Amino acid sequence: MRALSPGRWAAVLLSLSGLLAVVAALGLASGPSGLAPSEVWEVLGGGGAGAAADIVLRIRLPRVVLAAGVGASLAVSGVLFQALLRNPLADPFILGISGGAALGGILVLAFGAAVGLGQSAVPPAAFAGAVGATVLLFAVTGLGGSVSTTALLLTGVVFNAFASAAIVFIASLAGLAEGASIFLWLIGNLSGGEIRLALWVGLFLAVGLACALPLARGLNLLALGEEQAGQLGVEVERHKRVLLLATSLMVGAAVSVSGLVGFVGLIIPHLLRLVLGPDHRLLVPASALGGAAFLVLCDTAARTLLPGRELPVGAITALLGGPLFLVLLRRHHRSVYAP
């Protein structure tokens, strides 16, 4: 493990912040309507009106902020789950939280219209589903005493399988229009971006980071195994419970507004681990910034690759992220993953 000096910590995070700022500016400046960058800056500076103001302030800005929030939440929860479960395959969806959110959201997508609920009711329902899945997770694995990693993983796998089956069942009952919504929701989609949803995601991201950052050193020791970490003075069980709860809520908030955007939570933590090394004091905040920048970039591509059309951002994350990750893995894996 390379030593983490305050200088390096600051330099890395500043660079990533710069990257996020550049990508966000690109996102605000790009779109199918071909607004000139000068018009965009005029609107952002408080001037401009009409269609330009609608496009920049009510379409592009909420989406950029939402993509940043969702990307950061997914990447941070990926890094935390990988550390807590000591499993490099862990992603934000591994514990079944996403299954609960998907089930909640899709129930409303499929049957909401029949009971007078519009699509605006989807995020709250999805979040309720995520909370339900979290409660189930803790009820099954036990709140007191030690939380077994195996029990957590099994609960998540089984609940996800159950939720998928239920979703297939619901989709087979739903109409065509609802079926299309369900399908896009499952692949991840930010087209419904609204600023209040972005703020909601940001709130849970802030809670997650506030819980995770002080415990980052403990996460480093946890990599040695729970027993050794305990002997070195880490309050393993308390760490795990706090982080599991905060992370589950963070995932729930992100999934409830964007559906299941894959890849970000798996790839960004690994990518940054390959480049920056495994120290969580740096890895957690770097994942937040890196995940945000990555998803803003992918969503900008989703909005602009085919003029006038929208691609599901979940497809772009995989198409862009997969090759990039494999290249980095080939170059660096010996230094990070080899014993």
Partner 1 sequence: MFDFARLRLAASSDFARLRLAARRLRRLAVRWRSFVPCVALAALAAGPVASGADADAAVARRVVSLNPSLTAMLVALGAADRLVGVDVWSKRQNPDLAALPTVGGLYNPSLEALVALSPDLVVFVPAAEQRDFHARLDGLGVRVERFDPVRFDEVLASIERLGRIVGREAEARARVAEIGRVRAGLEGAAAGLPRPRAVLILQRDPLFVVGGANFIDEMLTSVGAQNVAGSFPEPYPRVSLEWLVAQAPEVILDSSHDADPPAAHWARFASLPAVVQGRVVRLPVGIATLPGPDLDDALRLLSRSVHGRDLLGGR
* Nearest distance in Å: CB 35, partner 1: 8
Which residue, 85, 105, 94, is CA-closest to 184?
A: 105
Q: Which is nearer to partner 1, 22 or 177 (CB)?
A: 177
Nearer to partner 1, 186 or 295 (CB): 186
**Which H or E element spans position 55?**
none
Residue 37, token pair as written in the block: 């960058």
Tell me the two tokens of residue 205. Answer: 């991201």
CB-CB contact of 253 with 309 (8 Å): no
Closest to partner 1 by CB, 153 vs 282, is: 153
The stretch near partner 1 (CB under 8 A) out of 9-17, 269-277, 289-297, 310-318 is 310-318
Among residues 144, 308, 330, 338, which is the contact residue for partner 1, using CB under 8 A? 308
Candidate residues 9, 17, 33, 329; the one interacting with partner 1 per rule CB under 8 A = 33
**What region, left, alpha or beta, does residue 142 occupy, with left being phi > 0 and alpha being psi -120 to 50 degrees?**
left
Q: Does 160 bind partner 1 (CB under 8 A)?
A: yes
Considering the rule CB under 8 A, would residue 38 count as an interface residue with partner 1? no
Among 12, 16, 28, 55, indicate the residue that binds partner 1 (CB under 8 A).
55
Q: Is 91 in the site for partner 1 (CB under 8 A)?
A: yes
Q: Is 299 in the site for partner 1 (CB under 8 A)?
A: no
Contact residue for partner 1 among 14, 36, 139, 168 (CB under 8 A)? 168
Residues 85 and 231: their CA atoms lie apart, in Å, by 18
Of residues 86 and 217, the one with the C-beta less far from partner 1: 86
How far is Cα 248 from Cα 243, in angstroms, rounded to an integer?
Answer: 8
* 14, 142, 307, 324: which one binds partner 1 (CB under 8 A): 307
The residues in 270-289 that bind partner 1, with binding defined as CB under 8 A, are: none
The reply to whether 237 sits near partner 1 by the rule CB under 8 A is no
Q: Are 66 and 203 in contact (CB under 8 A)?
A: no
Residues 55 and 28 sit within 8 Å (Cβ to Cβ): no
For residue 325, with 0-12 CB atoms within 10 Å meaning exposed, 13-18 middle and 19 or more buried, which class applies?
Answer: middle
Instruction: Measure the CA–CA gap between 243 and 209, rounded to whole angstroms.
Output: 10
182 binds partner 1 (CB under 8 A): yes
Site string for partner 1, 102-141 (x = CB under 8 A): x---------xx--xxxxx---------------------
Q: Does 46 bind partner 1 (CB under 8 A)?
A: no
What single-letter amino acid sits at 106?
A: I
Residue-by-residue DSSP string for 67-116: HHHHHHHHHHHHHHHHHHTT-TT--TTTTSHHHHHHHHHHHHHHHGGGGT
Whichever of 59 and 224 has its CB closer to partner 1, that residue is 59
Nearer to partner 1, 90 or 212 (CB): 90
Angstrom distances, CA of residue 194 to CA of 16, 123, 274, 323: 25, 11, 34, 31
- Per rule CB under 8 A, is residue 89 in the interface with partner 1? yes
Of 1, 3, 7, 49, the one binding partner 1 by CB under 8 A: 49
Radius of gyration of the chain (CA): 20
Contact footprint for partner 1 (CB under 8 A): 31-34, 49-55, 58-60, 89, 91, 93-94, 102, 112-113, 116-120, 156-157, 160-161, 164-165, 167-168, 171-172, 175-184, 186-187, 189, 191-192, 260, 262-263, 265-266, 303, 307-312, 314-316, 318-319, 322
